[in-house]
Structure 1
Amino acid sequence: MSASTRAESAPTSQPFAVPLPWTEAIWSRLHASRTAQRLAHGLLISGPAGVGKRMLARALAQSLLCQTPNAQGLACAQCADCQLLAAGSHPDWLEVGPDPESKSGEIPIDAVRQFTERESLTPSRAPYKVALIDPADRLNQAAANALLKTLEEPTGQSILCLIGERIGRLPATIRSRCLLIPVAIPDETQALRWLTAQEPRSDWALRLRLAHGAPLRALAERADDTRLEQRSQCLNSFLEIARGRSDPITVAADWNAIGTDRILDWLAGVMGDLLRLGVCATPPQLDHPDRHTELTALAQRLDLAAGHRLLKRILEARALSERNLNQQLLLESLAIDWARIGHAARAGTGGGHA
């Protein structure tokens, strides 16, 4: 199971999903389309990791296979079809994902063929055959082509639900043949209310910010205090480089030991915070609000143009992080660039507000 999938798992062991509060409006529209028999054959549910798109997709799939959904359209969890779903043996349900034996993490053509071959058949029990394709952005070229043929020539008794964070990787031909259903980051107040209802904690506000506003991601990471300690180490060393007190090559080695994905995520957040503070003393939101004082002092001396260039490099590196790059060299390069910016700031040549 991928990190993004874990971040969107249901918060309980209950096998039947329920749309989260901030996806209820989307659910209502889907239910209305289904009731009117206007539900699209292909659905593409997209959004950041941890916003509940997988729970929404599973709730819809379970509802479509249920014999007696309730007034809100949710699966009853009691009928024979729901019992088969709970046992993982419903003949009209298929989950398509990456080959667990493959190092590529891609969804191969054989996985898609399993559905396309069954898709042409009449449903065994339910009104529909339903397939969840997750993460859809991991379809390889051959699998995407096979899926496109099914989307171009759909039957009236099958629903394909594609789920993903990076749908831009999907061919435009597939995206254009699906109903796009974006799931956005919820309002912070609503997200904190929901998180507190799951488990009362005093640090939800910080954890939600570190999860980029995604409640399920914050919930999944709540027990990982090591992550918070590593973040603190990363930010401390980042600031020490700017102060000229740490060697960027040594720091990069420490960062590499923590993991490139985490480091790039935190570096993108802290650079974004510095740029916000460089133009506004009280920005509406910071990714690292607990370091406000230190970051404000640094932002006042920062060359904003250089900061923007470094942030662009970090974001580009994060987008390429899945490729076979030399992670150590990448982090060294970023740390050295940051050391140069920090040196200019200390020398008074940063021109932060010029």
Structure 2
Amino acid sequence: MAETQASPPQSPLPWTLGIWARLQGARQAGRLAHGLLFSGARGVGKRHLIECLAQSLLCRSPGPEGIACGQCADCALLAAGNHPDLIRVGPDPESKSGEIAIGVVRLFAERESLTPSRAAWKVALIDPADRLNASAANALLKTLEEPAGQTILCLVGERMGDLPATIRSRCLQLKVPAPAEDAALDWLRSQAPRDDWPLRLRLAHGAPLRALDAYDDALMEQRRQRLKGFLGLAAGELDPIAEAAAWNKLGVTLMLEWLASWICDVLRLMVHGEAVRLDSPDQTSAFAALAQRIDPAAGHRLLKRVLEGRTLAQNNVNHQLLLESLAIDWLRVSQGGNARRP
């Protein structure tokens, strides 16, 4: 469990200040839970929040709102990524499964049983907690049931429903929501001047950090190319096998997310016309034309196949074959036919 570089002390993001105040109030009252479970969509700021909390707990002189001072010896160790009382628990980078294994949790439990070395607290960041395998989750349960007096366990992830109920029930669950669109856009514009922040925020499903970090110019160009292919298939101009190969190069997880989003937009336009809120508002005209010629039942069946594909993609399914099947189905549906039944 090698320590990774810590961020300099920073303030919670504006839309997480309510959760921050709740945590600091519990801390001051001596009622801070030993297990904290932070959930929310990717890019809403939950990891930023737990980093701020770890810095606050380990700082010797936090400010009146609990923000780390950034000046003390503990803050210096945090900035260097070398604080002995901050433990990061995550998957082995060399593991193909991406799971957090039991050996990692056992090693953490040995360190957790020790008293803090220099700070008032020992803080463990378990990320992504939804990747704990069954054995690791069971091993963690004992630590949650009998935590050391000054240990805080922060579990964070996007799919917390995958965690055993026994773990969830022993943590204070904190859902980090996406901010209102206007607030998110104000924050994004404060980070960088862009005319297309509204589109990038929609593509990131309202998650500001994802819009800022993931949807850069390179990814926007990749989206443009894959949209061109998606529409080219619908026009009967492209080979679905060749287009599926391009989808696979992008990565199955993101491509399936985009496919689901585009098909959802087409289905929305079947019902509501141009007044509906779309994930890809820049494609309203193209998607509206598709909505007029696609059978709604066939479109819904295809969407179901795409959503099922997202689950299959996490297993040992052949990604290329999965995407080829979906590309062929999209060609059929967009030409007035039907998707094959699974």
TM-score normalised over the length of structure 1: 0.89
Matches of 1:260 and 1:117 in 2, distance apart?
38
CA contact (8 A) 1:98 1:107 kept: yes
CA contact (8 A) 1:42 1:162 kept: yes
Gapped regions of structure 1 (runs ≥ 5):
1-8, 350-354
Q: 1:221 maps to which residue?
A: 214
CA contact (8 A) 2:60 2:74 kept: yes
* Mapped pair 1:288 → 2:276: no
CA contact (8 A) 1:137 1:165 kept: yes
Matches of 1:107 and 1:14 in 2, distance apart?
23
Which is further off, 305-314 or 227-236? 227-236
Per-residue CA distance 1:35-78 (angstroms, 9 max, x = gap)? 11111110110111111100100111111111111111111111
Per-residue CA distance 1:133-170 (angstroms, 9 max, x = gap)? 11111112222111101111123211100011111221
SS at match of 2:88: strand
Name the aligned partner's letter for residue 206 of structure 1.
L
Matches of 2:80 and 2:237 in 1, distance apart?
58
* Cα displacement (A) at 1:243: 2.6
* Mapped pair 1:142 → 2:131: no
SS at match of 2:153: strand
Matches of 1:61 and 1:15 in 2, distance apart?
11
Matches of 1:327 and 1:316 in 2, distance apart?
13
- Within-5 A mapping of 1:3-152: 15-152=8-145
2:241 to 249, 252, 268: 249
TM-score normalised over the length of structure 2: 0.92
Per-residue CA distance 1:74-130 (angstroms, 9 max, x = gap)? 111112222222222222211111112222222122222232122222222222111
* Mapped pair 1:277 → 2:269: yes
Matches of 2:64 and 2:39 in 1, distance apart?
26
Name the aligned partner's letter for residue 247 of structure 1.
D
Per-residue CA distance 1:200-249 (angstroms, 9 max, x = gap)? 111111111111211111111354x3322221222222222223333322
Matches of 1:14 and 1:279 in 2, distance apart?
46
SS at match of 1:318: helix
2:301 to 302, 305, 309: 309
Matches of 2:254 and 2:154 in 1, distance apart?
30
Matches of 1:165 and 1:86 in 2, distance apart?
26
Matches of 1:247 and 1:124 in 2, distance apart?
62
Q: 1:182 maps to which residue?
A: 175
Name the aligned partner's letter for residue 85 of structure 1.
L
Matches of 2:76 and 2:245 in 1, distance apart?
51
SS at match of 1:130: strand
Matches of 2:236 and 2:62 in 1, distance apart?
63
Matches of 2:80 and 2:332 in 1, distance apart?
58
CA contact (8 A) 1:43 1:160 kept: yes
For these two proteins, the number of residue pairs brought into alignment is: 334
Matches of 2:321 and 2:160 in 1, distance apart?
29
* Cα displacement (A) at 1:17: 3.3
Name the aligned partner's letter for residue 295 of structure 1.
F
CA contact (8 A) 1:17 1:56 kept: no
Name the aligned partner's letter for residue 226 of structure 1.
A
* Cα displacement (A) at 1:342: 1.6
Give the 3 Å change call, closer, same or farther, for CA 276–83 of structure 1 in structure 2: same
Matches of 2:78 and 2:278 in 1, distance apart?
42
Matches of 1:296 and 1:284 in 2, distance apart?
11
SS at match of 1:106: coil
Name the aligned partner's letter for residue 274 of structure 2.
T
4+ residue segments displaced more than 4 Å: none
